[in-house]
Structures are given as C-alpha cells and as structure tokens.
Amino acid sequence: MHDMLAEPIESSRHGQEAVESRLVRLSRARPGDRGVIVEVRADASAAAHGLGVAELERRLLEFGFVEGAEIEVLHEGAIRHDPIAVRLEDMRVALRRRDADEVWVRLQPRGQRPSR
Amino acid sequence: MSAASAVEAAAVGRVALVGNPNSGKTALFNALTGSRQKVANYAGVTVERKEGRVQTARGRALSVLDLPGTYSLRARSPDEAVTRDVVLGALAGEAAPDVLICVADATNLRLVLRLILELRAVGRPMVLALNMYDIAQRQGLRIDLDGLRRELGCPIVTTVATRKRGLEELLAQVEQMLDAGALTTENRWREPDAGEIRQAHREAQRILKAHVRPPERPDTLTGRIDAVLLHPAAGLAILLGLLFVMFQAVFTWAAPLQDLIDVGFQALGGFLAAHLAPGLITSFLTDGLISGVGSVLVFLPQILVLFLFIILLEDFGYMARAAFLMDRIMGGAGLHGRAFIPLLSSFACAIPGIMATRVIDNRRDRLTTILVAPLMTCSARIPVYTLIISAFIPHSRVAGMSLQGLVMFGLYAAGILSALAVSFVTRRFFWRGAVEPFLMELPTYKAPDPENVARGLLLRAKIFIMRAGRIILPLMIAVWFLSSFPGAPAGATDPAINYSIAGQIGRLLQPVFAPIGFNWQMVVALIPGFAAREVAVAALGTVYAVGAADSAPGALATTLAHHWSVATGLSFLAWYIFAPQCASTLGVVKRETNSWRWPVVMFVYMTALAYAASLITYEVAKTAGLG
C-alpha cells in the first residue's frame, strides 16, 4: 500500500528528480542498491513485532537509520535473501528485512558510483 | 569498618567506562587495570560486573567499572539497563561513579557522539577517550580535538588501548577532575522520543562535519574480507569449515590435558585412600570431593580451547558475521542469530553455553536458547555414548563407513534436530508473535590483541571454575551422600551402593523405568549420574561390581553386553540424548534466570522427551527382534 502511495507523493515533491530516482523500502532493496534514507517511520506492519511500533522506530534511529543518512546494501543472506548487511554512512549494520520495512530509501540510479 | 579504612575507601575515586560495543572499551579496561580485576554479578541481576583497580602516577587509587556496551541510555536489555542505572547513580547497592570515561572508537564517531550528548545530560563529570587513535591516524582521519573539546564541553584524551598509549594522560585527566571536585550537576536525562533522537543525530552530524574530516585512506580491507566471508555460498562454507576445525581442536588439543587432569585427580584420590584409614571421611574425600571436583575440572581444557576460538573470532570481528550467516537458518526454528555462539559452546558443556546467552538482549529469545542448550551433545555424554556403542553396536561397516561412527553421528544429529524442534514448538505455540528485531553492528575487522585474548581466556576459566564450583560441589556432596548412606550391612555381598538411599530409590523407581527396558541397576546408576553425565559410567561399574571401570572400559562394555539386551542398550542411548542428567546445568539455569521456574520446566520437558524417546526406541528395537 505504501509502495503505491509513496511514489506519487515523492514525484510531486521532487518533480523531475523522481524520474531518475526510485523510492523503495529498504526491505525490498538488493545488494548494490545505494541511496539516501528519506524516511524512517513506524507504521502498522510493525505491529507484528514483539516491540511496539514506536520502539522499532527508535531502535532504528539509535542505530543510525536516520533521514539523510547514506546507505548501500552490501550483502544478503542465502535463504530468502535475508538478512541484509548495509553500509550506513561509515559503519556496517546487519538487519532482517522485516525490520528494514520502515526505512524508505531514495535509490541512486545504478552504476552511478560515488568516490567512497 | 574502622575509621582508617573508611577514610581510605572515601579516597578511592570511582570511575566507570561507558561506550558503544566494539569501541575497545574492554581493551582499555584491561590496559588500565591489568590483573587487578574482579568479576561478579550485579546484585539481583545476572549481568557481569567487572571492576578493577588502578593507581594514578601520583598514587591515587581508582576503582574502574567496565559497564556493558550500549548505543543509548534507553536500555534494551538487562545489560544496558545496568549501564543506564549505574550512570544515573540509580542502581541499588552500587555507588554512583565520580567520573565517567566515555570510550569511543575514533574511526567510528557518529553513534557515540549521540551517546555523548545523552551522557552530557546526566550531568556527571566526563572524559572522552578517543580510542584506536592510531588506526584513525593511519587512515588519515583528521579530528579537530580542540574544537571537539569546546563543542562537547569535556576533556578529550587520545588512546591506543592495545599499545597502552594515552593511559597516563587519561588517568591524570580523571585525577584532575577528582581533585578539582568536579561536581555532578543536575540530571536532565530522560528517555528521548523519536523526534529527540532525530534532533540528537542532526546535532551529532553537525559536530562531525565541523570537526572531523573524513579519512583519506578509508578502511577497504573490511569490505574485501566481507565480500568473501558474507558471500551466501562461500561464507557458509567457510563458517562450516571453521566449525569443523574448532570441533577437532576442542576434542584433540584438549585431550592430553584432560588425561593429565584425570590422572592427577585419580592419583590424588588413590593417595588419600592409601594413606587414610578407610571410613566415612576418606570415602567423602575421595569419592565425593576429589572425584566430584575432578569430573568438572576435566572439562576445563575443552572449555578453554572453545573459548580461545570464540574470543579470537569475536575480537577479529567474525562473530557478528557468523550470527548474520546463521540468523535465517536458526530463525526458521525461532532462534535468534546470536544464539549461535551459546549453542556452539554447549557442545563442550552446556554451562558456559548457558552463561553465554547473556549476549541475547531479548528475554524470550534468551530463555528459548537456555532451554534448548542442554540438548546439544555436550562432551560429558561422550563417555556414556562410547561405552554403550562399544557394547552394543557391532564393528561392521555400512556403505564403507563404520557403523559405530554413524551411530555417534546420529546421536549428535538427534541432539541438534531436537533442539531446533523444541525451539520451534516453543516459539510457535507458547511465545507466539513476539519477534525481536535483529539489528547488529558488523564491526571492522581487527587483528586480535594477544594480551586481551589471554586475559579474556583467563577470565572465562575463572568464571567457569567459580560458578561451576559453587554449584557443583554441594551437588556432588549430596549425590555422594545418597550413594553412601546407609552403608552396607556386615556380610553383604552386593556392592555397597545397592544398600544406600540411591539404591533404594533405584529399586523403588524401577517399575517406572521398566517400560523403557531399564533394570534396577541402571536406575541406581542414573542417580549418581545426575551429578554429571559421565559419572554414570563409573556408577554402572560400581553397581555391576566391575572394578576400576574407568581404566578398563572394555570389561564394563562386555559385562553390559552380557546383562542387557540390545534394545535396552539403545533405549539407554536415547535416554542420554534428552535426559536432564546434569544437576549443574539445572543449577546454572536457576542462577541465570533468577528463578526455580525454568530449571523445573527444563527438567520436566527433557525428562518427558527422554522417556518418550526411550520408550519408542525400546519398543521398535523389540519389534525388530533385538529384545
């Protein structure tokens, strides 16, 4: 549901940029995907977690999953591509895809590699 | 307390180390305090309390507390709650620290800056130790120390804990703050909400931008190693290879030392038996105390080898990767990726395994791991397995492999599979829904520091001996008492144990065990076997009056093959896969969970599994004509 909602909102916000960049949940990203975190929010799907919704958001934030942070998916597990390992600014973090659901990333087009 | 010692105690400055995990906090603690360390638990919780002493250059004594690593004062686990409460001065029975040393990995400042902002709100005097400063310099990372000092409002000392650099300056800084009577100001800390965490991140980001220039030569090694070690196929293959080497090492490297300990304790027992008048006290010393202590200490070499691997891999930065690789595989059974290390340790002995579950934040994840840990085939089962296999499994070959070896492998596999099944059932039917997030930093790879590895190993050994000793000794004494009283009447022909309380219990319980094919001698042997699984071997030797069963296992195997049917032997094997035949494990579970509830749950479910497995095995074997 958010997938459908998010893209139009994003394109209206950023106009042309949205043509080149895609907005995805981190839980759907693949190794090699890189971009900037645009939103960390707790929504209904987090209710399946043992924690409250707000608690998951706070934990993600405390680990550095915060709006504006650069992120790149580095590796994924063998079974169902889960969990994933990401480079988050200058540290590496492992997390399960289900916990990455609330992190929205604006992807850079592939092949456009920065210096680092 | 005398007046003098009261003054002395007051003069000791209390310092606490706080920091993110992987910041080199423990290395700094080791560098500061050396061998003057004490390990205990915080009152009422099973969180390790590590305290050490150090003297400043001017002779002032400081007590240093190594607090559990955390990313935030908002505690997520019992360990982190201790850190928060100590920092806030709110932990009962723990004096508030005079000065905090915040330990930061100089190459990874982002998250610790946010922690520093939280710590600053607490209002305690604080020094920032920028650790691993040599690596930062090597990477060409530029930190504007003066600017950072002004911005954070606290002194900064650069340190390299593994090389003992910057320690004197750090201590001098702490002492200066103590001398100046740096005061704790009002505590303004409260749990931040999401908005406040974001705000703090922005602030940390601003500070970082203003005062830290990114490295000219960033670490690329970690990325290159990860490309191999985290590869979905190669990574798992390497992990399995490592496990294989580790197992080989646990069983082969440790064996000579174990033999030495075994022989040493037997000699000691023999010496006492020869030089003391035979009687109750001698029996207590040799059969109760010495053989009891010996049967536990004999596992120390294996535990040390195992922990050597674990500490090396941990310090290298691999353990987080292992958890990453195993998370989904174990997650299918409802176990957390971090349960991997404790379960691995349980192959040597469930006791260090259960103690190692402290790394798991969530209570339910931790309890599940504790409950299934004893199903891993610990090394105490090996003597029992070896005895029964050699007595009942023929020396034949199946498809080119030794049948005895295959049975041994099957017993290990049964342990692992049943642990996964129990965990799955627990999470599926009893603790549904509550799945904790799996969020874990993958630290940069670092060469382990030999001194820290040695210290870590020494610490593990000490903890094992202390905890195990405290729990096991009284149990051993209880089991000895049950097997020795009352003594055999004059002119008795049977072994003395048959007349004891244990013997009477054994005969009393025998009808219960009859359906699974156990005779009364076996039931009697189970009782001392409760002290430690492998004791059952000696106990069987005793009830069947096979002298010196330890030195001649072949004789005992022959006797058993003569007295038991194959079905009974197989049933006994099945029993040992599951039965909670280890009072020490139950004792440790009680300590680690602070409640009798979990050892009782463990005892009941394992006994039920054991009985069912033995019953099925016995019936199937009888049907197959092995009765």
Q: What CATH number is associated with residue A67?
A: 2.30.30.90
Q: Is B111 on the interface with A (CB under 8 A)?
A: yes
Strand pairing report for B156-158 and B126-131: parallel
Look at chain A and report how many structural domains it folds into.
Answer: 1
Find out whether B23 and B105 touch, Cβ atoms under 8 Å.
yes
**Closest CA of chain B from A33, distance in Å:** 15
Residues of chain B with pLDDT under 50: 1-10, 547-552
Q: Is B139 on the interface with A (CB under 8 A)?
A: no
List chain B domain ranges. Answer: 3-219
In a mutagenesis test of the A interface, which of B74, B230, B368 is the best target, namely the one with the most A β-carbons within 10 Å? B230
ipTM over 0.95: no
Contact between chains at B74 and A64 (C-beta distance less than 8 A): no
For domain B3-219, give the CATH superfamily.
P-loop containing nucleotide triphosphate hydrolases (3.40.50.300)
Tell me how crowded residue A32 is: count the other CB atoms within 10 A of its CB. Answer: 11
Amino acid at B472: I
Find out whether A33 and A76 touch, Cβ atoms under 8 Å.
no
DSSP class per residue in B512-548: HHGGGT--HHHHHHHTGGGT-TTHHHHHHHHHTT-TT
In the block, residue with structure tokens 């924690």: A51
**Closest CA of chain A from B15, distance in Å:** 26
Q: B410: which residues sit within 8 A by CB, 6+ positions away?
A: none
pLDDT at residue number B548: 45
Contact between chains at A61 and B198 (C-beta distance less than 8 A): yes
pLDDT at residue number B550: 47
Q: A73: which residues sit within 8 A by CB, 6+ positions away?
A: A26, A29, A30, A31, A32, A33, A34, A84, A85, A86
DSSP class per residue in B230-282: T-TTHHHHHHHHHHHHHHHHHHHTHHHHHHHHHHHHHHHHHHHHHHS-SSHHH
Q: With DSSP H G I counted as helix, E B as strand and the rest as coil, what are the percentages for chain A, rounded to 5?
A: 35, 35, 35
Up-side HSE of residue B354: CA atoms within 13 Å toward CB? 29
Contact between chains at B110 and A91 (C-beta distance less than 8 A): yes
**Closest CA of chain B from A25, distance in Å:** 16
In chain B, whose CA is at the least distance from the CA of A60? B439
Q: What are phi and psi of B128, to 5 degrees?
A: -100, 120
Q: Output the CA–CA distances (angstroms, integers) from residue B377 to B266, B326, B417, B579, B591, in the order listed.
A: 26, 19, 11, 11, 22
Closest by Cβ to B194, choosing from A54, A94, A116: A54
pLDDT at residue number B516: 95
In chain A, whose CA is at the least distance from the CA of B323? A94
CA–CA separation, B54 and B29 (whole Å): 10
Contact between chains at A91 and B108 (C-beta distance less than 8 A): yes
Among B455, B475, B474, which Cα is nearest to B463's? B455
pLDDT at residue number A44: 55
Position A112 in a domain: no
Host domain of residue A8: 2-107
Q: Report how far apart the first and last C-alpha atoms of chain B are (Å, whole number).
A: 70
Tokens of B307: 């922990």
Q: Which residues of A touch B437 (CB under 8 A)?
A: 49, 51, 56, 59, 95-96, 99
Position A13 in a domain: yes
Q: Is B433 on the interface with A (CB under 8 A)?
A: yes
Going across the sheet that includes B99-105, the strands are: B37-41, B48-55, B61-66, B13-19, B99-105, B126-131, B156-158
**Closest CA of chain B from A89, distance in Å:** 9
Q: What is the value of pTM for the model shown?
A: 0.82
pLDDT at residue number A77: 92
Q: Which residues of B touch A75 (CB under 8 A)?
A: 226-227, 230-232, 324
Q: Which residues of A touch B197 (CB under 8 A)?
A: 58, 61-62, 66
Q: Is B224 on the interface with A (CB under 8 A)?
A: no
Position A28 in a domain: yes
pLDDT at residue number B274: 85
Q: Which residues of A touch B328 (CB under 8 A)?
A: 77-80, 82-83
Contact between chains at A94 and B233 (C-beta distance less than 8 A): no
- The average pLDDT across A62-78 equals 94
Higher-confidence residue of A46 and B486: namely B486
pLDDT at residue number B570: 95
Residue B69 sits at the vertex; the CA angle it makes with B66 and B73, to the nearest 5 degrees, is 110
pLDDT at residue number B248: 79
In a mutagenesis test of the B interface, which of A55, A58, A74 is the best target, namely the one with the most B β-carbons within 10 Å? A58
In a mutagenesis test of the B interface, which of A39, A90, A101, A115 is the best target, namely the one with the most B β-carbons within 10 Å? A90
Q: Which residues of B touch A91 (CB under 8 A)?
A: 108, 110-111, 441-442
Q: B307: which residues sit within 8 A by CB, 6+ positions away?
A: B345, B352, B456, B457, B460, B461
